[in-house]
Amino acid sequence: MYQAALILEGGALRGQYTAGVLDTFLSENIYFQLVVGVSAGALCGANFISRQFGRTSQVNVDYRDNKDYISPLNVFRYDGIINLDFLFSDHGEGWVNFDEEAYEKSQTDFVIVATSIETGGPVYFQKPTGQDLYDDLKASASMPYVAQPAKTAKGLCLDGGTADPVPFSYAANQGFDKFVVVRTRDRKYRTEDITLLQEKAANQLYGKYPNFIKTMVNRAEIYNHQLDWLDELEKNGKAFVVAPEEPITIDRMERDKKKLTALYHRGRADGLRVYDELVSYLNA
């Protein structure tokens, strides 16, 4: 186990790329003292810590058409397009249950990032277990506009990618000086400010939470600043980034299973491509 922090960006079903990279890490026995995950990155991270090779991709591909998992109607039935409770329930033959016992026995520290809608700031859940684990993962992956704020022990929360989309600074504040960051965007990607229509919708939905609205409005500045900082760290050999060499073009809610499978294998291949360089960085 390396004394390094693994940082996992979100991105809904773009997380298939992350799933592929992490399965390569599992196959090559690369483990980390700390894993920090945001949204889909946190969901991938949980399966990585429980060492369940292939589980993330199997669920996303085999059950993509299951309306109890992903459907616009779930906004009314399960408080979000993606029913995250589905991931941790038993669905019978062919389904691989989350191995909570293996997760709890792991020596890896796991941190889930969400955004408090009251403060607008990031919230960090440290190695939650039981129902808290499911609640915190749900909060981290609950997308603004299309999901209800999730209840947690630290208050109502939404997508961690709003306040801290690439949380390597959290690991730095914990004393780590080696960061392996798995992106779901290519290195050149930068996001744009929200539109006036989106800002209006945010005010209508979250009018009681001005701090959260402010964070949503400033999200592009937060994200792009983190990426510029990460580029500088990578340039100076202080961070190791695994990112797609070409833009990921699938939709956040992609329905094409062939594309989802291809993205997973793209992550697997990139994990192998950077293996020697990664091990050298971790051992330096």
Catalytic residues: 39, 159
CA angle 116, 19, 151 (to 5 degrees): 20
DSSP letters spanning 150-193: EEETTEEEEETTTT-SS-HHHHHHTT---EEEE-SS-TT----P
Q: What are phi and psi of 67, to 5 degrees?
A: -70, -15
C-alpha dihedral sign at 157, 111, 7, 50: negative
Alpha carbon 48 to chain centroid, angstroms: 12
Of the candidates 78, 146, 69, 131, the residue with the CA atom closest to the CA atom of residue 100: 131
- Where does residue 175 fall: left (phi above 0), alpha (psi -120 to 50 degrees), or beta otherwise? left
Amino acid in position 271: G
- Tokens representing 191 are 């996001």
Q: What are phi and psi of 122, to 5 degrees?
A: -70, 150
